[in-house]
Amino acid sequence: MKYSISYNKNEVLQALRYHFIKQAEIKSLMIIVNLYAIVTAVLLFMKKIRPEPFLLGSVLWLVLMLFFWYVLPTLFFKKTILFKEQWKFSFDDKQATLISTLGEASWAWETVTYYFESPYFFHFYFGPKSFFIIPKTTISVEDQHNIRGILK
């Protein structure tokens, strides 16, 4: 089956947030910053440190969250022309194909190393950083189940 797909900016931004937060380096950084904030909060409560280290950790946490939740997805969306195009998506048991005025891309399902679903998209990964998202809203429920079955 062929599906005509287009991208809604708000939905893409949410999908990109899922993508960035799932990255190992970002997860590690967030864990380190959270641990720092917890340790400094405990030490501040015990009156072992002054408030500045705790304030630094809190500001750092806020800056990271703003960057990874708002700035990075917005920049990625603005720089990626693919999200502004109309696509024709089709698939069968062996491969998936995307066609637009920019060109055509096909991939065998075996090349998908990892996939997950967010509320609006299928996220297909071909490597640690190479991925593509397909909106679920335009694909029939039956074909969504077919895609899940193929990928499992």
Instruction: Please identify every stretch of the chain with a pLDDT value under 50, giving residue numbers as ranges.
Output: none
User: Is residue 37 a contact partner of residue 45, using CB atoms and an 8 Å limit?
Assistant: no
pTM for this model (two decimals)? 0.81
CATH architecture group of domain 2-7+81-151: Roll (2.30)
The residues spanned by each domain of the chain are 2-7+81-151, 9-79
- 123-135 residue pLDDT tens: 999 887 788 899 9
pLDDT for res 10: 94
pLDDT for res 150: 87
Amino acid, single-letter form, for residue 60: L
Rounded Cα distance, 15 and 17, in Å = 5
Name the nearest CA neighbour of 112 among 97, 130, 100: 130
